[in-house]
Each structure stands twice: as C-alpha cells, then as structure tokens.
Structure 1
Amino acid sequence: MEELNPSYFKDIMVLGCGNILFGDDGFGFHVIEKLKDLLTEEEKKRVALVDAGTGAPQQVLSLIDETTKTKKIIVVDIIDYNLKPGEIKILKKEDLPDPKHSRLDIHNWPLAGILKEVCEKYNIDILVVGCQGKYIPKPDVYIGLSKEVEKGVDKAVEIILKEIRNNSREGYDGR
C-alpha cells in the first residue's frame, strides 16, 4: 500500500510565509510565485512550493512525521533585523531564537519552536531566507511590495534556486 503523504512533503519544501494584504509582508508569497515559473519540471518533482500565508506555517509543520520524505525546509518571510530594506538575511537552525528564552521570533510569531522541534526530531535541514521589510501597514491594507523588497524577491529566488540546484547535484543529503 502506498504511503499517504501530502504532495507538499517532497525532498525540499519551500515554505512562503506572510500576507499579501500588508505590503512587504507579502514577500514570501511573491518568492513562491516567482519560483513556480522558474523551477524545471524535474525540480518540481523534488521541490514543494507552499504558500502558507500567515497562520498555516505551524499547521503545515505539525503534519510532518516519521513518514515524511522532506529532507530540507526553506522558510521565506519578511524579517525585522534592523537591516536596510530589501536586504536578505540567511538563518540556519542554530540562528533561530530559542523559544524557551525569547518571546519574540523571526517575525514576531512563534514559528521557531515548532521549526526547531520538527527539524531535530525528524533530522530535517532548515534554512530561513528573510528579507528586511520597509512597509508593513497593518492594520491598513496595502497590496504591493516596496521597491527595495521587490528587489529582495529576486535575491531570495536566486539563493533558493542555488540551494535547490546544489542539493540536486550532490544527490542531496544536506543533513
């Protein structure tokens, strides 16, 4: 009997986070959309592109278990690290805030805890591709990215494609 495993649990999962209704918070969505157009058919068989929005990242991660084939998760989101708007920051598992010692997270929501837990429990590699936001108008709605973050989308896509293609050539076991 074939394992029941959602289609988004492939070798690599790119998890886009954020909300397109709040300006630069839509960064993750725009990266996922651009990757959809740039991945080869062969890469699409190995890479799941998941637009998780604002509330679903935790739910997607909670579905991972010992039957999941995912070996790497790349989280894409807007961040606030007091960088120049549009600047990209790469975080690995060891760079994530420890939820036991910090109440704030990468984007002021509690994703680091479940992300670390899932990656450690199931030996999954993690990479966060964060972009310093400029304009997040919550609670007002504004659809569209600032010019700086728009340029950050291209940088993030380039980093993610390189990560995917390097893993492909290495026969991926980045753990």
Structure 2
Amino acid sequence: MTAKVLVLGIGNVLWADEGFGVRCVETLAESYAFGPEVRLLDGGTQGLYLLPFLEEVDTLLVFDAVDYGLTPGTLKIVEDDEVPAFMGAKKMSLHQTGFQDVIATAQLMGYCPEKLILIGCQPEELEDYGGGLRDVVAAQIAPALAIAVEKLRALGIEVREGRTESNDLADPSILRGAYEEGRPSEDEACRVGDDRFLPQGV
C-alpha cells in the first residue's frame, strides 16, 4: 500500500529550538507503530527536495518550531489553507521560507495534499549553535505527539503504542540523546556559529 499520510519534522537540530520538529518525528517513531499508509520523515532543511514526498500523499502533518509571537513553549495548531501563511509569516530561518515554497509549488503543480496540519511550537532560543532544545520547548514534544495521534486517529489511521522503523529519519549519531549528551559545554565550544569564520572576539 502506498503511504497516504506523511508525518514530517522540519528544522535544523544544530540551532537549539529550531530542532523541535525533527525531534518530534523522531520521538513519534520511537513511541508509536504505524501501518504502511503512514510515512515518517525527518525533512530537516531540505526545502524543494521534499516535493516528491508530498506528491504521493493525501495528508501532510508537519511538526515545526514556528515564531507565532507567543510565550515560549506555546503550541499552536494550524490547518489547511492557513498553513502556508504561518510557515512564512514570521521567518526564523531559511527553512521556513523554503517549506512555504514547497507547499506553494505543490499547489501550483496540482498535487498538494488535500489535508494540511501544522503543529508548531513557539521557540525560546535559536542563537545557540550546537545547543539542544530548551526545557520549555522539549516539554512540548509529548503534548505535540498527543495532538498528532488524535488528528491521525480522527482521519481513520490506526496508531498503536510501539515503534516504527524508518530509513527516513536521522542517523543514530544525531538523535536527540546522543546529540545533547555528547555536545561540549559553552566554555569548550563556540555556540554562536563556526568560530573559524567569525570575527575575532565574537
């Protein structure tokens, strides 16, 4: 059976709360079992390279860090026609512009999924290169997954506790546990970018 639902986590795990969406889909795969009609994908910052994945599904559910202008850690769910506007209304990084373009291009080509669901979390910190999720954002992973499961079940998708094996997720070396436990402290590493390319004294 061809997947009819794409559950997509987008963002950049290298920049603190930017990684919220990726960590959500990663945790979803570790916590729930889905049938072949559901595909779980770490979309990272791939932009238009994600177009072929949208072409083959009826429903797209996206996890992402979105600057809604709300209190850090606030979850906001947006659906259908409102999704493109929120993906680009207040951009935090190039990946949001890129994904808005993905949806617009899919619509133009006539194969945008009929159902769009965005589960977004207001970030607390983005300017921390190599940093992990802040506590207030990490605490929203479980509630975000609960919302996703509810939405999927409402669409008639079977969701069971368990695990979903997928080749479309991050390499084990950068899964959240390995990444956050293995990162150096702020005293040991530059956390505002790559210090090889920064002006002296930054």
2:21 is the alignment partner of 1:33: no
Deviations 1:132-174 (A, max 9, x none): 000101xx5133111110111111111111112221269xxxx
2:133 alignment counterpart = 145
Task: Give the Cα separation in 2 of the matches to 1:46 and 1:63.
Answer: 13
Task: Give the Cα separation in 2 of the matches to 1:49 and 1:57.
Answer: 16
Task: Give the Cα separation in 2 of the matches to 1:73 and 1:119.
Answer: 13
2:40 is the alignment partner of 1:52: no
Task: Give the Cα separation in 2 of the matches to 1:96 and 1:122.
Answer: 16
Q: Give the Å deviation of 1:123.
A: 5.6
Evaluate the alpha carbon distance shift between residue 19 and residue 118 of structure 1 in structure 2; reply closer, same or farther with a 3 A threshold. Answer: same
Question: For 1:158, which of 146, 157, 161 is the aligned residue?
Answer: 146
1:10 alignment counterpart = 3
2:17 is the alignment partner of 1:24: yes
Evaluate the alpha carbon distance shift between residue 107 and residue 91 of structure 1 in structure 2; reply closer, same or farther with a 3 A threshold. Answer: farther
2:7 aligned partner, one-letter code: V
Q: TM-score, normalised by structure 2?
A: 0.66
Task: Give the Cα separation in 1 of the matches to 2:89 and 2:51.
Answer: 19
2:111 alignment counterpart = 122
**Where in structure 1 are there 5+ consecutive unaligned residues?**
1-6, 171-175
Task: Give the Cα separation in 2 of the matches to 1:151 and 1:58.
Answer: 30
Evaluate the alpha carbon distance shift between residue 96 and residue 135 of structure 1 in structure 2; reply closer, same or farther with a 3 A threshold. Answer: same
CA RMSD in angstroms comes to 2.8
Instruction: Kindly name which structure, 1 or 2, has the bigger radius of gyration based on alpha carbons.
Output: 2
How many positions carry a matched residue from both structures? Answer: 153
Deviations 1:78-131 (A, max 9, x none): 0111111111111123213559xxx75565532224314425723621111110
**Where in structure 2 are there 5+ consecutive unaligned residues?**
159-202
* 1:50 aligned counterpart, secondary structure: strand
Task: Give the Cα separation in 2 of the matches to 1:72 and 1:152.
Answer: 23
Task: Give the Cα separation in 2 of the matches to 1:157 and 1:82.
Answer: 22
Task: Give the Cα separation in 2 of the matches to 1:47 and 1:107.
Answer: 29
1:79 and 1:133 in contact (8 A); partners too? yes
Evaluate the alpha carbon distance shift between residue 85 and residue 53 of structure 1 in structure 2; reply closer, same or farther with a 3 A threshold. Answer: same
